[in-house]
Amino acid sequence: MAGNRAVAYKGPGKVEVIDIDYPTFELKDGPGVNPANVGRKVPHGAILKTVATNICGSDQHMVRGRTTAPSDLVLGHEITGEVVEVGPGVEFIKVGDLVSVPFNISCGRCRNCKERKTGICLNVNPDRPGSAYGYVDMGGWVGGQAEYVLVPYADWNLLKFPDRDQALEKILDLAMLSDIFPTGFHGAVTAGVGVGSTVYIAGAGPVGLAAATGAMLLGAAAVIVGDMNADRLAQARSFGCETVDLTKGEPADQIEQILGVPEVDCAVDAVGFEAKGHGSHAGEEAPATVLNSLMDITAAGGALGIPGLYVTGDPGGIDAAAQKGSLSLSLGTGWAKSLSFTTGQCPVMKYNRSLMMAILGDKAHIAKNVNAKAIGIDDAPRGYAEFDAGAATKYVLNPNGYLDNL
């Protein structure tokens, strides 16, 4: 039987490539596995040989020690793979299929799944609604930054690419369907972006750049991205975004210089709870900054899409309230302006097929926009470190050589 090498969290600031078991059609005990999930049978699952598996800002929250993730947790929720085995309950997915895996694990059977709210499936995580591979408090499904990974409810979860050769040609783009492209697009959709909208996106990381790509696909008139990282802002300009340098102060003034008014129709938070302050506070953590500034600059009646992650427990929070996920929000501003808010995991399955068709039809160049780069699995520690230092790069691990010739 094949072995399995995987990227594991080893305590704050540290990841390592370790040997783990090759998956079977059962969820075994291990770091972060909820006791109620131990021994869970997965006859509806498929085992994938990993084609591409990306490092995400969400992983960084764990790796920075900003969650309660246990040491040895195997990381990785952004998975693209080739099916190498299917369980006896799998009817339609076949060995040899090339597939994208939505990072949300969902059952396809519960009330929320039936309403396409796959980010809050009720049946896969005994802790709370919603689940993901390789993530703290998400039930303990083993992460996919590995050579092989088990995907439950395979017929439901997997998105099959229609043609293998065509898929391998665009594989770096298609690798973004497991999370950031749908997530950024969802941020734009839930911010109400449509033809002619003006949009501000906080955060020029991969999710912010994916939201910008999504806003352009949806027909926005102006897409403005704010960050304090000059390289990431240059990356945003490389595909037609306007940018706001938040080391210079609050976004409103710079937005006014671009649009003639200090407000936008739609706003997206692609930063989350590790947000930094603006202007003279640029180096300091200020977890409510993004949400408060988005409420300020969004026109009355507008909407905030909030894919940026907020947590219920943060050991590194700036004060006792933040350590419990409680932030100092100016909700009165939002209320007075009748703003709408959409939070939570992106229900990837709602968008991944249409975004796949946009990629295959050459209408979306997400890999170029986020500067996706393939690296070997042994380079994962370097990828994590460079990404954490703010590289304008989306790192894609290549554990089985499928990406060697890109």
Interacting residues with Zn ion (CB under 5 A) = 56, 58, 78, 106-107, 110, 113, 121, 123, 179
User: Binding residue for ligand NAD (CB under 6 A) from 34, 54, 58, 235?
Assistant: 58
Q: How far is the CB of 15 from ligand NAD (least distance, A)?
A: 15
Q: Distance between CA 250 and CA 281 in Å, rounded?
A: 10
Of all residues in the chain, what percent are helix, strand and coil, respectively (each to 5)?
30, 20, 45
Q: Distance between CA 268 and CA 384 in Å, rounded?
A: 25
Using an 8 Å Cβ cutoff, are 41 and 35 in contact?
A: no
Half-sphere exposure of 167 (CA within 13 A, CB side): 22
User: Binding residue for ligand NAD (CB under 6 A) from 7, 217, 290, 377?
Assistant: 290
Q: Distance between CA 231 and CA 245 in Å, rounded?
A: 11
Q: Distance between CA 211 and CA 194 in Å, rounded?
A: 13
User: Binding residue for ligand NAD (CB under 6 A) from 52, 90, 138, 246?
Assistant: 246
Site size toward ligand NAD (CB under 6 A) is 34
Half-sphere exposure of 6 (CA within 13 A, CB side): 28
Within 99-118, the residues that bind ligand NAD by CB under 6 A are none
Q: From the list ligand NAD, Zn ion, none, which binds 220 (C-beta under 5 to 8 Å, kind-based)?
A: none
Using an 8 Å Cβ cutoff, are 219 and 246 in contact?
A: no
Q: From the list ligand NAD, Zn ion, none, which binds 149 (C-beta under 5 to 8 Å, kind-based)?
A: none
Binding flag, residue 203, ligand NAD (CB under 6 A) = yes
From residue 120, alpha-carbon distances to 135, 153, 195, 335, 387 in Å are 15, 15, 30, 26, 28
Contacts (Cβ under 8 Å, ≥6 apart) of 118: 102, 104, 106, 112, 347, 348, 349, 350
Q: Binding mask 162-201 vs ligand NAD (x if CB under 6 A, - otherwise)?
A: -----------------xx--x------------------
Q: How far is the CB of 142 from ligand NAD (least distance, A)?
A: 19
Q: From the list ligand NAD, Zn ion, none, which binds 232 (C-beta under 5 to 8 Å, kind-based)?
A: ligand NAD
Q: From the list Zn ion, ligand NAD, none, which binds 229 (C-beta under 5 to 8 Å, kind-based)?
A: ligand NAD
User: Binding residue for ligand NAD (CB under 6 A) from 154, 276, 349, 403?
Assistant: 276
Binding flag, residue 232, ligand NAD (CB under 6 A) = yes
Residues binding ligand NAD (CB under 6 A): 56-58, 60-61, 179-180, 183, 202-208, 226-229, 232, 246, 270-272, 275-276, 278, 289-290, 307-309, 345-346
